[in-house]
Structure 1
Amino acid sequence: MPRLSLELLKDLQSQGTPGKSFIIRIQGDDVFIRKFPDMSNVEWTPKQKKQRSLFAAAQAYAKEFLSDVARAAQYKKTLEPGKRAYNQLIAEYMIRARQNAVAE
């Protein structure tokens, strides 16, 4: 029986699933291939809708911020080693939004 290398599966996993028909999960040396979840009938609660909207705004903010190359380079210098600017900007945006919501 042919064996697939773990590196090949990691490459496939990082490229996204073709046609969104399955998902590849790698945990240690174990590889799991699962059916892509069907989220078409999910009804989000008002709290989930608010959170999803906030996260979308945070993503838009991070993309816009990083599109300015000079500002992005300056920001990246302030980060701790191993931190990614995109993720850190989203986290900071979310924290500020929660603080503003509490202050109101």
Structure 2
Amino acid sequence: MYISFSPQRRDDALSVSRQGGILTINGDVFDFSALPEGATIAAENSPSPWITGPIEHINGKLHLTLLLPHGPGPSAVVAFPEPLVDPDDGPLDLPHDPKEVEDDLDA
């Protein structure tokens, strides 16, 4: 599997896990395991608004691009993310910036 990212300023979150050819994106399950070698699902036919480009099966690997939401002022890691190549099954470690922690001095 080869997952590219398209960073976008958004306030929502993205959670993705993989199980073989199945991706779970924010709780919605998408099974791409039956997509034959050389086949393409055009971007406009994507089953998820989080998938921004074509979904292709090339040389035995699923290739797709996911929106990558980020807050204001993302780091270079988030603004120019490296693709995930052959990620393990389970939750994917998506490029992200650490959340800011507010000190609660009034507690």
The answer to whether TM tops 0.5 is no
Larger Rg: 1
Higher RCO (CA 8 Å, separation ≥ 6 residues): 2
- Give the TM-score taking structure 1 as reference length: 0.22
What TM-score, normalized by structure 2, do the two folds share? 0.21
